Structure 1
Amino acid sequence: MAQGEVNVTIVGNLVADPELRFTPNGVAVTSFRVASTSKKYDSRSNQWVDGDAVFLQCNIWHQAAENVAESLTKGMRVIVTGRLRQRSYETREGEKCTVMELEADEVGPSLRYASASVMRNERNSGGNGVGSQPSTGGFGGQVSQPQSGGQSQGSDGWNNPAPLGDDNPPW
C-alpha cells in the first residue's frame, strides 16, 4: 500500500448488474455501483429507520473482474474492500467533474442474510491466474465440473469437498 492511500470497506447492495469490459490490451475490468444505507434507531417511534444512502462506483480488474461479472447480480448484498480514488474528467459540454471511486481489491457476497456456494477457479499452465477457467453458475448456482483430458479430478484437493467434521485439508 502506498503512503496516503485511503483503504475502504463498503457493505451494500448492487444497484445494477456488474458490467464487464476489456481494455484494448485485453485486460478485464468490471464496473459496478454499490448502495449502502445506514440504519438509525428512532427512539420516538421505537423503530429502525433508513439513514442517508451512499452510492459508490467500484472497479475491479483482471481475473477477479471476470469472477465478479459471472457471480454477482443486481440487488445482491456485497462486501467490497479497496482503495478510494479521486478521478477528474471533463464532460462533452466542457464542464469539469470530480468523482470518488473504489478500486476494489476484494469483492464477495455478504453472508449476513444469504448463503453462497463458492468454487475455486482452475488454473491453466500459466500459473499466474491470467486465462484461468472460471466455474459456471456463480454464487448459489449449479456448478458444472470441467472435464480434463487425462487428469483425474481426485488429484486436485480444492475440487473435492472435505468430509463432514474433518478440519484437515483434502490432500
Structure 2
Amino acid sequence: MAGETVITIIGNLTSDPELRWTRSGTAVAAFTVASTPRAFDRNAGEWRDGSTLFMRCSVWREVAENAAESLRKGMRVIVQGRLNQRSYETQQGERRTVVEMQVDEVGPSLRRARAQVIRNPSGSTGGGGYQAPPASASASPEAAPPSPDAAQQSPYAPPPEDPWAAQQGAPAFDGEPPF
C-alpha cells in the first residue's frame, strides 16, 4: 500500500524463527526482536540501557523459509518493514490489540559478526523479485569451487564471461577523454 511508513529495527532474536504454512501452502515465519537503546551518561561516565522494545515480526513466502533456515536465537538482526495493528478476542472474551511488524527485509547485523551468503538455487525467486540467471551448460560460479588459478587472477581483470568486457582488437581505454 502506498504511503506506508517503513521502519527499521535492530536488535536480538528472542528465539528461533517459527516457520508455519498457511492452508494454501504459503510459508510464514514469526519471531520477536528485542531492541534496547543505549546512551552514554556523561555524569556517571557509563553506558545506560533504555527500555527494551519487544517487536513481534512476521515474514512471508521464500523470505520466511530463508529466515527460518538462517537465523537463530540471540543473533543480532536488522529488520525492515511496516507496522500493522491487529485486534483479536481472547478465550475469555477480552478484546486485545497488538502492533506487529510485517517484514520486508531481514538479515544478520555484521557489527560484531560475519556472515556467509548462500544464494538460493536458480529455480527459486527471492530478493524482491530478483531471479537468479538460468543455469548454463557449464557449472555456475556459485556452485563450483574456486579454480586454482582464481587466486592469481588480477582483481581488476574482467571475469571470463563478462559480456561488457572490451572486445578483442578494440582500442583499450588509456585514461584520456576521447575529445
Task: Give the TM-score category using the shorter length.
Answer: 0.7 to 0.9
Output the aligned Cα RMSD.
2.5
Match of 2:101 in 1: 102
1:166 paired to 2:132:
no
User: Whole-Å Cα distance in 2 between the matches of residues 28 and 151 of structure 1?
Assistant: 32
- TM-score normalised by L of structure 2: 0.74
Equivalent residue letter for 1:48: W
Q: How many residues align?
A: 147
| Aligned partner letter, 1:106 | E
> Aligned partners of 2:48 and 2:137: how far apart in 1?
55
Q: What's the % identity of the aligned pairs?
A: 51
Q: TM-score, normalised by structure 1?
A: 0.77
CA distance in 2, matches of 1:87, 1:75: 27
Kept after mapping to 2: 8 A contact 1:158/1:170: no
| Letter of the structure 2 residue corresponding to residue 99 of structure 1 | V
- Paired residues for 1:1-171 under 5 Å: 1-3=1-3, 5-124=4-123, 128=125, 152-153=138-139, 156-159=140-143, 166=155, 171=161
Q: Output the CA distance in 1 between the equivalents of 2:113 and 2:6.
A: 26
Moved more, 158-167 or 82-91: 158-167
Structure 1 position 45, deviation (Å): 1.7
Q: Report the Cα distance in structure 1 between the residues aligned to 2:31 and 2:51, rounded to whole angstroms.
A: 20
Change (3 A) 1:169 1:40: farther
State the SS of the aligned residue for 2:63: helix
Stretches of 4+ aligned residues off by more than 3 angstroms = 157-165, 167-171
| CA deviation vs aligned residue, 1:115-148 (integer Å, no higher than 9, x gap) | 0001110132xx645xxxxxxxxxxxxxxxxxx9
Larger Rg: 2
Which letter maps to 1:80?
V
